[in-house]
Structure 1
Amino acid sequence: MGPLIGIPLLLVSVLGGYLGMGGAMSVLWQPFEVLIVAGAAIATVIVGNPMHVVKDTLRSVSDLFTGKKVTESDYLDLLGLLYSILRSLKGQGMLQLESMIERPYESDLFKQYPSVLANPRAVNFLCDYLRLLSLGTAKPHEVESLMDEEIRILAKDFHRPSHTLQVMADALPALGIVAAVLGVIKAMGAINQPPEVLGQLIGGALFGTFLGVFLSYGVVGPIAGLVRTNKDTQISYFLAIKSTLLAHLNGAAAQVAIEYGRKVLHIDAQPSFNAVEQRTILEADVIRHAKNRDAA
């Protein structure tokens, strides 16, 4: 919701101040300057990135305006799933979970957590390491090193949209100068015109510099920062899986392992200790009822 409030406030502040100084709005009507600056900026993104990164960047910006992000409820679902898995490991052993790991989207346990299933990368990440643990040969420090490397690669991939937007923000002032130079060239071609006409042309040329700096520091740069923050919340999703499984490998009880996972979640949506405790109590009741039903 930040951009929906901040960008209109930015426009009101800048344009309101300009009008307050006695500026004429007609001078700011420079559609071809806008075409040069904005079009060139978009073109540099397309030239410098694979198409899937361009699409991911557009999707990431769209998520900012629609409010789509990882929430506390998503984190609670993840921790609830991890708790159920660890309790099942303790009660049934790893062999009982092999079918679930191989076909998570058909698993009754996973189906109880649709928000987790909606994150295919996280599902694959979790199942890959559960599969590794099922082999019984992995040592905690070896698993941790492998997880760290995979999360590093994931983080690099997740941050491509924010990096792309930041590169665009860095380029916009220079592209504004390009538009201004072209405007000055046009003005020089009309050097024999009256001062009021020449002044209009020079004003239009300077608008290109204004637009490049305005878009860079007022719009694209802040959006790049917001996209990076949203991606950080997604990365902490994987960090929670890592911390929980490592705590389990080191002998921690399921409730304690879940707390390890909770502590590394992004602070913007990190659930409280009480919320996680209530969730795990609920999961324990579900597991108990399922066992009683199977025994009957």
Structure 2
Amino acid sequence: MIGVIGIALTFIMVFGGYILAGGKMGVILHSLPFEMMMIGGAAAGAYALSNDGGTIKHTVSGIGRVFKGGKWTEADYQDILCLLFQLLRLARNSPVELEEHIENPESSPIFQAYPRILADHEAVELVTDTLRSASLNYDDPYQVEEMLSRRIGLMKEEALHVPHALQNLADALPALGIVAAVLGVVKTMASIDQPPEVLGKMIGGALVGTFLGVFLAYGLVAPLAQRLTSVVKQDQSFLDVIKAALIAALHQHATNLCVEVGRQATPSHLRPSFVSVETALREIKRVG
């Protein structure tokens, strides 16, 4: 909702101010289809040329995330802490039984209790792969931490491909607007014998290209790229919480302390309270 409000406010303030200052929309509307064809077409072609199929495929869904916001909520962070608590407790009390859960999480009642987490392939694999490695005696906390840091870093780099591509597009749009404007000037110079009022409209139409390139770059595409970057980084924090709790477990800390380490690694605006997490853990202990 905030994203939609931001776009609406940008358009209203820019074009509203132009109209209130005495500007005429006729010139812009007349030139808009042709300028958008040149600028938008060139931008789409450059985007396709400079990115692979995966980045292009995920661009639309990435833009959708700008308006939806981050994937994970405070409740989800509490759920992942509860899930890790159950798995770590099981790893210490019954390693053989744990194997059934990490080898087939889709049929695990522990994972099934948290459907949103189970639906996230990256999060589930990060948990199961790390616990599986620990069960195979790859349990040096420092080596595992380095491995997890590299893995999460690679995930983050891949997730940031779309916002980086959008930022590159934003950087190119002003230049593409100049290209459209230059072509408009060329057209105007070919009609230099026309009366001043005709030439004025033609020059105004040419300048629409420069305006559109700059406006689209800094009023739309660059903010989208910046917001998407923020959303991606926020979602990746979910993996950092998993990493923090699992590394604490490899250091042989108490299971409750491992959960608290994970809670402390949660972004402040999404961090569940200590009391709510403890209440949830007590309920798990009571039921289990």
TM bucket, shorter chain: over 0.9
Secondary structure of 2:270 counterpart: coil
Partner residue of 1:251? Answer: 252
Partner residue of 1:141? Answer: 142
Say whether residues 1:261 and 2:262 are aligned partners: yes
Distance 1:266 1:228 in 2: 16
8 Å CA contact 1:240, 1:265 repeated in 2: yes
Say whether residues 1:26 and 2:36 are aligned partners: no
Distance 2:268 2:178 in 1: 40
Say whether residues 1:62 and 2:64 are aligned partners: yes
8 Å CA contact 1:241, 1:261 repeated in 2: yes
Partner residue of 1:291? Answer: none
The alpha carbon displacement at 1:278 in A equals 2.5
Structure-2 change in CA distance of 1:225 and 1:282 (3 Å): farther
Letter in 2 for 1:60: G
Say whether residues 1:169 and 2:170 are aligned partners: yes
Per-residue Cα deviation, 1:41-76 (whole angstroms, up to 9, x for no partner): 122221111111112121010122345622212222
Letter in 2 for 1:18: Y
Say whether residues 1:195 and 2:190 are aligned partners: no
- Give the total of aligned pairs: 286
The alpha carbon displacement at 1:272 in A equals 2.5
Distance 2:75 2:182 in 1: 52
TM-score under structure 2 length normalisation: 0.95
The alpha carbon displacement at 1:109 in A equals 0.9
Letter in 1 for 2:250: L
- Structure 1 consecutive aligned stretches of length 4 or more whose deviation exceeds 6 Å: none
Identity of aligned residues (%): 42
The alpha carbon displacement at 1:150 in A equals 0.9
Partner residue of 2:118? Answer: 117
8 Å CA contact 2:133, 2:139 repeated in 1: yes
Q: Unpaired segments of 5 or more residues in structure 1? A: 288-296
The alpha carbon displacement at 1:240 in A equals 0.8
Letter in 1 for 2:278: E
TM-score under structure 1 length normalisation: 0.92
After the TM superposition, which residues 262-277 of structure 1 pair with which residues of structure 2 at under 5 Å, given as runs?
Answer: 262-277=263-278
After the TM superposition, which residues 1-296 of structure 1 pair with which residues of structure 2 at under 5 Å, given as runs?
Answer: 1-29=1-29, 30-67=32-69, 69-92=71-94, 94-287=95-288
Distance 1:225 1:274 in 2: 35
The alpha carbon displacement at 1:229 in A equals 1.0
Q: What is the RMSD computed on CA atoms of the aligned residues?
A: 1.4
8 Å CA contact 2:169, 2:221 repeated in 1: yes
Letter in 2 for 1:228: T
8 Å CA contact 1:70, 1:230 repeated in 2: no
Distance 1:35 1:233 in 2: 36
The alpha carbon displacement at 1:133 in A equals 0.5
Distance 2:209 2:259 in 1: 54
Per-residue Cα deviation, 1:164-205 (whole angstroms, up to 9, x for no partner): 111111111111111111111111111111111111111111
8 Å CA contact 1:233, 1:265 repeated in 2: no
The alpha carbon displacement at 1:142 in A equals 0.7
Structure-2 change in CA distance of 1:270 and 1:60 (3 Å): farther
8 Å CA contact 2:180, 2:209 repeated in 1: yes
The alpha carbon displacement at 1:39 in A equals 2.0
Distance 2:165 2:35 in 1: 23
The alpha carbon displacement at 1:37 in A equals 1.3
The alpha carbon displacement at 1:263 in A equals 1.9
Secondary structure of 1:70 counterpart: coil
8 Å CA contact 1:77, 1:115 repeated in 2: no
Structure-2 change in CA distance of 1:270 and 1:186 (3 Å): farther
Distance 1:45 1:274 in 2: 49
Q: Unpaired segments of 5 or more residues in structure 2? A: none
8 Å CA contact 1:75, 1:271 repeated in 2: yes
8 Å CA contact 2:173, 2:216 repeated in 1: yes
